[in-house]
Amino acid sequence: MKVLGLETSCDDTAAGVVTDRHQVLASIVASQIEIHGPYGGVVPELASRGHMDAVGPVIAAALKAARLGWGDLDGIAVTHGPGLVGSLLVGVSTAKALSFAHGVPLLGVNHLEAHVRSVFLDHPDLVFPMLSLVVSGGHTSIYVSREEGRYELLAETRDDAAGEAFDKVAKYLGFGYPGGPVVDRLAASGDDRAFKFSRPRMSDGSLDFSFSGLKTAALLAMGKEGIQPLKGNVNDLPAGEIAAEDVPQVIRDLFASFQRAVVEFLVHRVRRLVADTGISTVTMAGGVACNSRLRIDLAAAGEQDGFSVAWPRPAYCSDNGAMVAAAGCLLLRQGRVAGLDLDAVPGLTLADSVVRP
């Protein structure tokens, strides 16, 4: 079985081809970082237009890389939510047209399920039950899957997503979008104890996440210490081009301390939920799963507490078409084919039920 996956829910136009054995035959991503970078975040209207320009060439490149024609495909999978409505519509309309024109079954994929399934691309032998941490620019949630394709929500953010918090703190300090990778890189030469950020506590005792308080604490620390955002044309540069030594030490310290607070919060929740559920397989995916400190600290927690942790390579953590194709393979195997009335659903959720431990 070979499925083409199409992803246009946010700021990446991506197409991938995957087999039902989790083998990636192609994964092509056209990033819009250069379009949104100067604005410090994704501009929805520019994102939709960017997808319109990129979607055709990206699909053609994926099929070429996989050396396949339309007749070789068993399914066309597309993210139909959650995400930005204009962006989603580009992918959904394209997939519907291709499905109709080539007579290939259409599969409507939930973007969050695609992130969860991305882990299988590098760890095909993972076994259920498992806890899945999805940590990205739009979402921060932990699900429990007791069987394939079924999800219960254990915890989610009540305000900002973890990636969004990284992006905003980087933006306050004068860096362009996305902020997560630059915080990660600059934090490596910062003192993570220079600033104290306490772990957010939910007043109702729930295990949900909240990142907006941490973000505000970072902003207040900037004011208190008189930290000025970087000046000049830093927003016009891809974040990767700024050398650490050109960034004041106090900014690197703030990044390191903020990153530590976010990571400790995420790892704390995972440990609690492993203890509460007794499930000892943990997976992690989404753009923030690329964070080097999160990887190190989660792996260390697993070793200490006796749970296994798995995440895919960075290219499959951030938005990509292969993960959509992987989720599409599961839908196809389960006979969950979509009709041509498939619609974009910006607020689509994943869980069949919500369990608050």
Q: Which residues bind ligand KG4 (CB under 6 A)?
A: 10, 136-138, 163-164, 166-167, 178-181, 184, 286-288, 290-291, 318-319
Q: Of the two residues 94 and 259, which places its CB atom closer to ligand KG4 in the complex?
A: 259
DSSP 3-state of 22 = coil
Q: Is the dihedral of CA 38, 39, 45, 51 positive or negative?
A: positive
Q: Residue 5 pairs with which residues in a beta bridge?
A: 16, 77
Q: Taking CB under 5 A as the rule, does residue 192 contact Zn ion?
A: no
**Minimum distance of ligand KG4 from residue 116's CB (angstroms):** 12
- Angstrom distance (rounded) from CA 55 to CA 50: 8
Find the part of the chain contacting Zn ion (CB under 5 A) among 63-71, 153-161, 197-205, 315-323: 315-323
Alpha carbons 290 and 285: distance in angstroms, whole number: 8
Please count the other Cβ atoms lying within 10 Å of the Cβ belonging to residue 315.
Answer: 16
**From 27, 94, 132, 136, residue interacting with Zn ion (rule: CB under 5 A):** 136
* Shortest distance (Å) from residue 294 CB to ligand KG4: 7
**By CB under 5 A, residue 157 contacts Zn ion:** no
Q: How far is the CB of 293 from ligand KG4 (least distance, A)?
A: 8
Nearest C-alpha neighbor of 171 from the set 251, 241, 225, 115: 251
Alpha carbons 46 and 44: distance in angstroms, whole number: 5
The DSSP bridge partners found for residue 17 are: 4, 26
Q: Which does 82 bind (CB under 5 to 8 A by kind): Zn ion, ligand KG4, none?
A: none
Check if the beta carbon of residue 185 is closer than 8 Å to that of residue 252: no
Contacted by 86, from ligand KG4, Zn ion, none: CB < 5 to 8 Å by type: none
Give least dist CB 319 to Zn ion, A.
4
Given the complex with ligand KG4, which of 163 and 302 has the nearer CB atom?
A: 163
C-alpha to C-alpha distance for 21 and 344, rounded to whole angstroms: 28
For residue 167, state whether it binds Zn ion (rule: CB under 5 A). Answer: no
288 binds, among ligand KG4, Zn ion, none (CB under 5 to 8 A by kind): ligand KG4
Tokens representing residue 228 in the block = 């000025």
Q: How far is the CB of 101 from ligand KG4 (least distance, A)?
A: 29
Rounded Cα distance, 301 and 263, in Å: 12
* Distance in Å, CB of 286 to Zn ion, minimum: 6
Stretch that binds Zn ion, among 47-55, 128-136, 271-279, 308-316 (CB under 5 A): 128-136
Of 167 and 253, nearer to ligand KG4 (C-beta) is: 167
| C-beta closer to ligand KG4: residue 29 or 274 | 29
Percent helix, strand and coil across the chain, each rounded to 5?
Answer: 50, 20, 35
Element (H, E) at 211: none
Structure-block tokens of residue 37: 């970078």
Closest distance to ligand KG4 from the beta carbon of 140 (Å)? 10
Residue 25 or 114 having the CB closest to Zn ion: 114
Under the binding rule (CB under 5 A), the answer on residue 164 touching Zn ion is no
Residue 11 in the binding site for Zn ion (CB under 5 A) = no
**Which of 94, 251, 319, 322 touches Zn ion (CB under 5 A)?**
319
User: Is the Cβ of residue 136 or residue 157 nearer to Zn ion in the bound state?
Assistant: 136
Find the shortest distance in angstroms from Cβ 220 to ligand KG4.
Answer: 21
Q: CB 70: neighbour CB atoms within 10 A?
A: 13
Give dist(CA 330, CA 235) in Å, integer: 41
Q: Is 67 buried (19+), middle (13-18) or exposed (0-12) by CB count in 10 A? A: exposed
118 binds Zn ion (CB under 5 A): no
Report the SS3 class of residue 70: helix
Contacting positions for Zn ion (CB under 5 A): 136, 319
